[in-house]
Chain A
Amino acid sequence: MPAVEVLGLARRYGSVTAVADVSLAAEAGQVTAVLGRNGAGKTTTVEICAGLRTADAGSVTVLGLHPGDPALRHRVGVMPQGGSGASGVYPSARVGEVLALHAALHSDPLPARALVERLGLTKAADTPWRRLSGGEQQRLSLALAIVGRPEVVFLDEPTAGLDVQGRHLTWELIRDLKVAGVAVVLTTHLLDEAEELADHVVIIDAGIVVAAGTPRDLTAGAGDELRFEAPAGLPLGDLTARLGSGATAAEPSPGRYVVTGSITPDMIATVTAWCAERDVMANRLTTGAGTLEAAFLALTEDPT
């Protein structure tokens, strides 16, 4: 049985549908990334799983129980979304105090000092929450979610507002949680984060799951591609005609070109020759299976 199982979840706020139909399963010892644009329904989905909101329709089980079940409280760690001043920490409480409080609620917590050190917060241990930087607040919030040694953690945008170093600290910790057998469910709108961390990616758009699978599954769908960057607005009809044999050239965003089809050395030569004729540099020319970004953009493109 998966650690977290969501089936046909729906949730509206007044006349706004936040989540229309979301199903997903998250396993122990795996990182499941819920990926989507802002407003796609990620936070609502995770908050329902974490027992912070109720669903209008569908079912959610966490470790076989209803998300609101008090028996889950010590088995599940939650990191709510930061920002908007509502991350759930007393503003005048110091880092060490908040962590000690949350640790004291559990019988077998992580050693606070080691956790603080691990997250690079040692120097901030006596600083009140409100005087921490945004990145420090995020890292403390993560520490609070895991200090009780949970079986399942829900992390809502765990790296939002972090600098590169903080982001890597967080990524490393998430990997270690996974190795330790924790089921990690995180939301992100960062493709590289999902690609980097996740065993399982669920792409949500407008409250609906548009794709799910391993990062490799999702990028395989994007097929063979040749990508390059060049000045925007090149006349692609001409290139497509020149390529022949079912290959097509497109410009999904200004200045970024994608040629799909079966990519051969000959075809690469055709593309570069076509660019040379126009006295245009083909930058960042790459071939191979698509990136998650390409898959993501293809899946969540606005129908225009």
Chain B
Amino acid sequence: MSTGSLDLSPAGHASPAGTQLRAQTAMELKLMLRNGEQLLLTIIIPTVLLLLFAGAPIADLPKPRIDFVVPGVLALAVMSTAFTGQAIGTGFERRYGVLRRLGTTPLPRALLLAAKTISVVCVEVLQVALLCVVGLVDGWSPHGNALAAVALLMLGTVAFSALGLLMAGTLRAEVTLAAANLVYLVLLVLGGIAFPLTDFSDGVRHVLELLPIAALSDGLRVVLRSGGSVPVHDWVTLLVWAATGGLAASRLFRWE
């Protein structure tokens, strides 16, 4: 052989699932944390909103303002990572043929999805930790059952991931980019994150309450602000979005 050392003779198997999952997750995480626009959506905007809405008299919020705002930005954080970031990232992976190429490697699709999920959850943990610390420093006093809050965040993650992957797997990458950002902006205003849904007329409010982001922020708010238990309709709303989104994504997602 011309430059010696390299033995090209066929050998080996697929590596164990754990090794594959670790490698793929590390790559997904690196790419997410390296992406400036994504960090803007996932870290900077929620943090700025938290400080802004808690401090300045921007909207007519129930007092203490911080107790209203923190649950909202936690919901926004979940949406930004599980939905917006994932939809855009996956859309472009599809467009660039990354998913197609990975399909020719020993990495099973289930592990690819698992890696995506784990990296989304890792980023969310970072976001939630950051927002909670900033909130606590700013005088936030959380109540209620932390487990219920975590369960809500997880169900929200499933619902938003399903919707993000549905979008990424069916639309062109450029359309996904525009649409995912638009949805983020619209839901930021209409989803009960920073502005209470009670600001809207009853008819509009009943429609908006059916949004996953509204259910998530409302549920978090009920738990963390007053220590109440999550309203059934919030669970149901999130479950329905998760189930229909997941079903649609698994049926309609095109890998290339």
Contact = CB atoms under 8 A, between A and B. Distances in A.
Interface of A: 50-52, 70, 73-78, 80, 85-93, 97, 100-102, 104-111, 114-115, 117-118, 144, 146, 148-151, 172-173, 176-177, 179-182
B10 A73 contact: no
For chain B, which range describes its interface: under 10, 10 to 19, 20 to 34, or 35 or more residues?
Answer: 35 or more
A91 B34 CA distance: 12
B11 interface: yes
Say what secondary structure dominates the interface of chain B: loop
Interface stretch (B99-107, B152-160, B182-190, B219-227): B99-107
A87 B97 CA distance: 6
Contact of B8 (A90, A106, A177): A177
Contacts of B93: 90
B20 A105 contact: yes
A199 B14 CA distance: 30
A118 B5 CA distance: 10
Contacts of B10: 75, 149-151, 180-182
B7 interface: yes
B108 interface: yes
A100 B23 contact: yes
Given A86-B95, A106-B12, A176 B2 contact: yes
B125 interface: no
A76 B256 CA distance: 20
Given A73-B104, A78-B101, A87 B27 contact: no
B116 to A, nearest CB: 13
Contacts of A118: 3, 6
Given A86-B95, A86-B96, A91-B96, A149 B9 contact: yes
B1 interface: yes
Contact of B96 (A52, A70, A88, A117): A88
A77 B92 CA distance: 23
A52 B100 contact: yes
Contacts of A85: 95-96
A300 B6 CA distance: 39
